[in-house]
Amino acid sequence: MARDTMPRILKERPDVRLQIVGRNPGPEVNALAELPNVEVHANVPDVGVYLEQASILAVPLDSGGGTRLKILEAFAAGLPVVSTPVGCEGIDCRHGEHLWVTERDQFAEGLLEAIETPELATEFAERGRQLAEETYDWSVIGKSACAAVAEAVR
């Protein structure tokens, strides 16, 4: 994203910054900090601080497995999300309702739409937060798990 999407975004919005926050980034990721408007934050003690400062969570994944917990964290924080289809696999969310889902080659356009339509971004973020609370909150998951165990015992 830093090398292909950011230059396209910066042409229209030179004020945009990309903050890459993660654990143990390799040399390739650390080198991205030398690009214009790109920051790399490694091994941060609390990702919540960065979620609070962010305007949008970008999830430009092309491969990988498992549930995308970063999206659920962003939803819970009330943050709008732009993701590839792979990036939001495993989450019961929908494009145009909870987030923007766009193919990698159109990722810049998806991010620009999110940036340039703050009212819509706020609506998506509110629906994302509601989805996180109603479906992915630990209390909801616990009740569901207990009901499944009780049903299995019967």
Whichever domain contains 97, its CATH number is: 3.40.50.2000
Task: Please tell me the predicted confidence (pLDDT) of residue 68.
Answer: 75
What pLDDT, on a 0 to 100 scale, did the predictor assign at position 69?
Answer: 87
Q: How many CB atoms lie within 10 A of CB 129?
A: 17
DSSP 28: H
pLDDT at 153: 82
Residue 13: give the domain boundaries.
Answer: 5-153
Is residue 57 within 8 Å of residue 82, measured between CB atoms?
Answer: yes
pLDDT in the model for residue 140: 64
20 pLDDT band, cuts 50/70/90, is very high
pLDDT higher than 60, residue 65: yes
User: Is the per-residue pLDDT at 67 higher than 60?
Assistant: no
Provide CB contacts within 8 A for 1, sequence distance 6+: 18, 58, 60, 107
Q: What is the mean pLDDT of residues 18-46?
A: 93
66 pLDDT more than 60: no
Give me the mean pLDDT over the 13-38 stretch: 94
Q: Higher-confidence residue: 129 or 153?
A: 129
pLDDT the model gives residue 82: 97
Residue 38 has pLDDT above 80, yes or no: yes
Number of compact structural domains in the chain: 1
Whole-number pLDDT of residue 56: 96
